[in-house]
């Protein structure tokens, strides 16, 4: 081996040692009251960075919020709505794993809100397994599992722990230039919340749930835009085809926005946003949207609609 | 001398990539501290996402929907000082609903939403204080 090769190997080895020291979070960084301990040696304000972030941001409302709305409607827990844990073996591609991680995450949120502890823990195992397959096991590590189980009698804490873990996984994916995986997980979670909402509206005819369905018009557009953005090699072609057909229905949902001046309480650091919105969606359109959502979901979870 | 140069180049290159990701990670911990609990100790539930942008005299923005009947907190940071990041919220007709610039770039603010509204959230660095850097924003809501 010549001298140059020796030095190249030594250089790469030195670099890998440094990378290895920086990859995973180690040690406790949370105080007993749940507050984070902040590293005091933060950033030089004039330092410049190169990061893997491409400047594009996207956001999809959390499926937990729709689950909370459903819970507040006093509708009974319906386990038949959930994607069976047994289906996990069907998911062999990164696309199906990411989509179904989002779906199972929403299911876990739903089960948690209904205090279904045994089911929650079962779905937790499924989420952990898929997160390992997708390389974000660090977000759902042993410490997370312990905290979740230790708080199984406290719904608020379980929700916070669960959503913090998804946030951690989201951060990891974005830092490592895996925005498409992040987008697919969000898509799965969104689709599952639509599945809950459309099914439960059919049973309850609760107008608030109907409005929540119609309010997804913008979120669906966002999802389509981000899946297009990160559609390298056409990996998102199939899901985009399905979502575009759903979007054709949502285009006919009428939404108007009327600006009303917000009111701010500076002392409380609180602003009340008072804009008024109207949403119009005829019954036939709602039925069509419901059918399309079920069709798309069925193709993702792997059973007939 | 050549040996030292080669080793140094590799170490600096790989070291800087991992350090930059770690720095954005450090900033995200700052933001987490702002969004942990409300003034009464009630925890905010994360929306499960992190909004990270490298800003160099530019703005980053995204669209989202804030649900009626909900209570949100938006928090943002770009480093150890509280007031590097300006975030603003516009409705679908570009009416300005809020900007923390009016409140000394407060690192977090709460929002009570009466009716569901589609918004555009814009972030930028206050270039009087910080010209470039990793800006992190997070959204939480009360159960």
3-state secondary structure A80-144: HHCCCHHHHHHCCCHHHHHHHHHHHHHHHHHHHHCCCHHHHHHHHHHHHHHHHHCCCHHHHCHHH
Q: What is the structure's pLDDT at B21?
A: 59
What is this structure's pTM? Answer: 0.82
In this prediction, residues A177-185 reach a mean pLDDT of 91
Structure tokens at A203: 């049973």
CA A200 to each of CA A70, A216, A294, B119: distance values in angstroms, whole numbers, following the listed order: 8, 16, 12, 27
> Cα-Cα-Cα-Cα dihedral of A138, A143, A145, A150, to 10°?
-160
| pLDDT on residue A97 | 96
Distance CA A127, CA B92 (A): 36
CA distance A268 to A258: 26
What are the residues whose beta carbons fall under 8 Å from the beta carbon of B42, sequence distance 6 or more?
A156, B142
Q: Is B62 an interface residue toward A (CB < 8 Å)?
A: yes
Considering CB atoms only, which of B110, B134, B138 is closest to A49?
A: B134
Triad A290, A295, A299: Cα angle to 5°: 145
Q: Which of residues 80-139 of B touch A (CB under 8 A)?
A: 80-81, 84, 89, 91-93, 95, 97-98, 103, 106, 108-118, 121, 129-134, 138-139
**A238: CB partners within 8 A, 6+ apart:** none
> In this predicted model, what pLDDT tens digit does every residue of A37-65 receive, in sequence order?
333 333 333 333 333 456 678 898 998 99
pLDDT at A22 over 70: no
Instruction: Confirm or reject contact between B28 and chain A (CB < 8 A).
Output: yes
pLDDT of residue B20: 53
Tell me how far apart the alpha carbons of residues B35 and A217 are, in angstroms, rounded to a whole number.
Answer: 28
Percent of chain A scoring above 70 in pLDDT = 81
User: What pLDDT digit, counting tens, does each position of A201-256 carry?
Assistant: 999 999 999 999 999 999 999 999 999 999 989 999 999 999 999 999 999 999 99
Q: Interface pTM (ipTM) of the complex?
A: 0.88
pLDDT (0 to 100) of residue A5: 53
Highest average pLDDT, of A154-163, A289-298, B25-34, B41-50, comes from A289-298
User: Cβ of A201: how many Cβ atoms within 10 Å?
Assistant: 23
pLDDT digits (tens, 9 = 90+) for B77-111: 998 788 999 999 999 999 999 999 999 999 999 99
Q: Mean pLDDT in chain B?
A: 87
pLDDT band with cut points at 50, 70 and 90 for residue A303:
low
Q: Is the pLDDT of residue B118 over 90?
A: yes
Q: According to the model, what pLDDT value does residue A46 have? A: 33
Considering only alpha carbons, which residue of chain B is nearest residue A166?
B48
Q: How far apart are CA B75 and CA B129, in angstroms?
A: 18
Q: Phi and psi (nearest 5°) for A62?
A: -65, 135
């Amino acid at each position: 081996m010549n001298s140059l090769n020796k030095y190249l190997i030594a250089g790469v080895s030195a670099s890998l040692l440094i990378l290895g020291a920086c990859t995973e979070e180690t040690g406790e960084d949370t105080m007993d009251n749940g507050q984070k301990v902040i590293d005091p040696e933060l950033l030089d304000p004039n330092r410049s960075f190169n990061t893997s972030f491409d400047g594009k941001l996207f956001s999809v409302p959390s499926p937990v919020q729709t689950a909370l709305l459903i819970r507040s409607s006093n509708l009974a827990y319906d386990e038949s709505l959930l994607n069976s844990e047994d289906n996990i073996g069907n998911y062999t591609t990164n696309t199906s794993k990411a989509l179904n991680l989002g779906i199972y995450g929403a299911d876990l949120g739903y089960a948690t809100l209904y205090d279904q502890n045994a089911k929650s823990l079962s779905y937790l195992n499924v989420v952990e397994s898929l997160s390992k397959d997708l390389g974000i096991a660090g977000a759902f590590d042993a410490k997370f599992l312990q905290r979740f189980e230790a708080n199984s009698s406290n719904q608020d804490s379980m929700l916070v722990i669960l959503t913090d873990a998804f946030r951690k996984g989201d951060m990891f994916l974005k830092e490592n230039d895996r925005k498409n995986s992040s987008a697919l997980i969000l898509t799965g979670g969104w689709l599952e919340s639509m599945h809950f909402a459309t099914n439960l509206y059919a049973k309850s005819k609760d107008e608030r749930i109907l409005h929540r369905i119609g309010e997804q018009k913008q979120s669906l557009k966002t999802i389509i835009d981000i899946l297009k953005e990160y559609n390298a090699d056409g990996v998102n072609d199939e899901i985009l085809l399905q979502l575009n057909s759903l979007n054709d229905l949502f285009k006919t949902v009428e939404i108007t926005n009327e600006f009303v001046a917000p009111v701010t309480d500076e002392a409380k650091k609180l602003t009340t946003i008072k804009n008024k919105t109207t949403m119009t969606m005829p019954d036939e359109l709602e039925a069509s949207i419901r059918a399309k959502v079920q069709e798309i979901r069925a193709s993702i979870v792997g059973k007939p609609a | 001398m050549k040996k030292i140069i080669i080793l140094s180049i590799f170490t600096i290159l790989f070291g800087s990539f991992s350090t930059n990701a770690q720095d954005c990670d450090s900033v995200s911990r700052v933001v987490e501290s702002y969004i942990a609990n409300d003034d009464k100790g009630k925890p905010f539930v994360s929306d499960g996402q992190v909004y990270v942008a490298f800003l160099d005299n530019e703005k980053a923005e995204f669209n989202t929907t804030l649900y009626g009947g909900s209570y949100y907190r938006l928090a943002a940071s770009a480093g150890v000082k509280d007031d590097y990041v300006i975030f603003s919220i516009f409705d679908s007709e570009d009416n300005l609903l809020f900007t923390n610039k009016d409140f000394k770039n407060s690192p977090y603010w709460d929002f009570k939403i009466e009716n569901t509204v589609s918004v555009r959230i814009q972030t930028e660095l206050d270039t009087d204080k910080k010209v470039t850097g990793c800006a992190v924003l997070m959204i939480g809501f009360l159960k």
